Structure 1
Amino acid sequence: MCRHLAWLGPEKPLGRVLMEPPHSLFRQSWEPRRQRYGTVNADGFGVGWYAPGDPVPARYRRAGPIWADLSFADLARVVRSGAVLAAVRDATLAGADGEAAAAPFAAGRWLFSHNGAIPGWPDAAASLVSALPPVDLLSLQAGNDSAFVWALVLHRLRAGEEPVQALGETVLRFVRSAPASRLNLLLTDGTTITATAWGDTLWYRTEPGRSTVVASEPYDDDPLWQEVPDRTLLTASRAGVLLAPLEDSAAVPKEPCT
């Protein structure tokens, strides 16, 4: 129901990562190659990036399709970063949240995106409401399923959990309540990437010591791309990628996957 991407590497213009590759995230907004659910990602888009020396990311989000925003094309040509998270959105349900519903969601140093859906939303997630303090419910950034998933993840991060635990436990709680949920989550603080593959495609490409990208699908045909198995936790940095089974969310990945 979306396509998203997180990239860490040498500082470069946003457009080099998001628009120039032959099957870029920009192109995936109208012509994804491996999207299993939905066909066109035209219900909004967003980009978050980190500037050198500033741990709090900037964001640019809009309610319409990325191809219709000429201002973004100009911005992507000149804004440079070494850490980016971006998404193009295919809405689960029609709604009036507009730009507020477009990933990446943000809080402090974190950027977050959800590729997937909670079938039966919001009824299917009602049992999870008690996991959030009232102030967090009242502070939801939008009224859609992805914003609620983000609120649960953020609550765990603020409680001191590591990203791999916060994402893993959130996914497992959701699938117990709504077993048909698709929960590919993507989280970064500008230094590391944490992701889950649950119900949709996820790939990574790494040149250890230089750059790493984690994405819903490859943006080119480079043979370095590797598909992440379903029900997997991924952690990544510029040094490489580690994988662990998601069923055991407390597991610490030990073997690098290159």
Structure 2
Amino acid sequence: MCRWIAYAGSPVLLDELLYKPANSLVMQSLHSRLGAEPTNGDGFGVGWYDEHSPTPGLFRSVEPAWSDENLRELSQHVRAGVVLAHVRATSGTAVQQSNCHPFRHDRWLFMHNGFLARFGELKRDLQLAVDPELFPTIAGTTDSETLFHLALTFGLTDDPPRAVAAAIGLVEDVARRRGVDYPVQGTIAVSDGERLWAFRYSSEGRSRSLFHNQDVAVLRQQYPDNPVLHDLSEDTRIVVSEPLGDLRGAWLEVPEATCLVIGGGTLETVPFGPAAAG
């Protein structure tokens, strides 16, 4: 499917997240270890929040991340405290810029690894449920962007966990009526630049991989001579489709049917599941 990374902490160069780790996101675009396929070369995107604007910056391209010189150049100059980045392996929709993640609406960013099963059969019913004022802003053809707009319709800007739960609940309800088994698969990241929410859920109970970093203070105690850990601020929080390196104990798997809530240097883990829309 896809691979993604979400970062919250002290401002860092994008290069530190996208290129420098041993199993960086750019490396995963060509040699994913835990993905459904090893290559994620159907475009990429990176969104970031900085002090210049409440609206996040966004750079997306249909080029493979591993060969895009503009991404490499940008990554060496942009510094941000909240970053969402994604490399895409299409599940059938076109390779075009409007289908690359993250998706943006006002100050919100959204990205997804996974799929809505038999989306073509569900698409009409799902998109008719999107708020009419939001419908014109659907620019691409992916199931992920439709899911984002459903979450916006159900109140993402007020209560992200409840809105995502309602969006997934609607998908599963429509799928039941259409005879589609196990319609939802994936991991999702959402941010408004101040907080970050990450979700791991699938209708089948076999979600795509997702991990978050161990507390930096704990890792410093375990590895006092590791220089990389001393360069990180203690409030660093990273959520990834697969670990960025092999340091033992550095990465903790996110449990199935879970929402992570990250803000102010803290991370809370709460149960997550679909809910009735309304």
TM-score (normalizing by structure 1): 0.88
Matched residue, 2:212: 204
Alpha-carbon offset, residue 124 of structure 1:
2.7
Give the 3-state SS of the residue equivalent to 1:55 in structure 2: strand
Structure with larger Rg: 2
Counterpart check, 1:69 vs 2:94: no
Deviations 1:92-134 (A, max 9, x none): 10425x0111001001111110110112112134332332133
Give the 3-state SS of the residue equivalent to 2:30 in structure 1: coil
Number of residue pairs the alignment of both structures matches:
247
1:161–1:249 distance in 2 versus 1, CA, 3 Å = farther
Deviations 1:159-187 (A, max 9, x none): x5311211222223223333332131110
Counterpart check, 1:119 vs 2:122: no
Matched residue, 2:128: 130
Matched residue, 1:156: 154
One-letter code aligned to 1:9: G
Distance in 2 of aligned mates of 1:133 and 1:249: 18
Matched residue, 2:179: none
Distance in 2 of aligned mates of 1:249 and 1:235: 18
One-letter code aligned to 2:32: P
One-letter code aligned to 1:154: L
Is contact 1:7–1:83 with CA below 8 Å preserved after alignment? Answer: yes
Deviations 1:73-103 (A, max 9, x none): 011012111110000000110425x011100
The answer to which of 14-23 and 186-195 deviates more is: 186-195
Distance in 1 of aligned mates of 2:115 and 2:41: 16
Note the 1:44-193 alignment, pairs <5 A: 44-95=43-94, 98-157=96-155, 161-178=158-175, 179-193=182-196
Alpha-carbon offset, residue 145 of structure 1:
0.8
Distance in 2 of aligned mates of 1:125 and 1:95: 16
Distance in 1 of aligned mates of 2:41 and 2:168: 26
Give the 3-state SS of the residue equivalent to 1:210 in structure 2: coil
Distance in 2 of aligned mates of 1:147 and 1:113: 8
Matched residue, 1:221: 246
Alpha-carbon offset, residue 190 of structure 1:
1.6
Q: CA RMSD in A?
A: 2.0
| Percent identity (aligned) | 30
The answer to which of 189-198 and 130-139 deviates more is: 130-139
Alpha-carbon offset, residue 152 of structure 1:
0.9
Distance in 2 of aligned mates of 1:116 and 1:176: 18
Distance in 2 of aligned mates of 1:112 and 1:63: 18
Distance in 1 of aligned mates of 2:126 and 2:274: 20
Question: Unpaired segments of 5 or more residues in structure 2?
Answer: 176-181, 202-206, 217-233
TM-score (normalizing by structure 2): 0.82
One-letter code aligned to 1:167: V
Distance in 2 of aligned mates of 1:48 and 1:14: 10
1:138–1:226 distance in 2 versus 1, CA, 3 Å = same
Give the 3-state SS of the residue equivalent to 1:78 in structure 2: coil
Give the 3-state SS of the residue equivalent to 2:152 in structure 1: helix
Alpha-carbon offset, residue 189 of structure 1:
1.4
Give the 3-state SS of the residue equivalent to 1:20 in structure 2: coil
Is contact 2:9–2:236 with CA below 8 Å preserved after alignment? Answer: yes
Distance in 2 of aligned mates of 1:136 and 1:52: 27
Distance in 1 of aligned mates of 2:118 and 2:274: 26
Distance in 2 of aligned mates of 1:42 and 1:99: 13
Deviations 1:52-82 (A, max 9, x none): 2521110110012011211210110121111
One-letter code aligned to 1:117: F
Distance in 2 of aligned mates of 1:21 and 1:238: 24
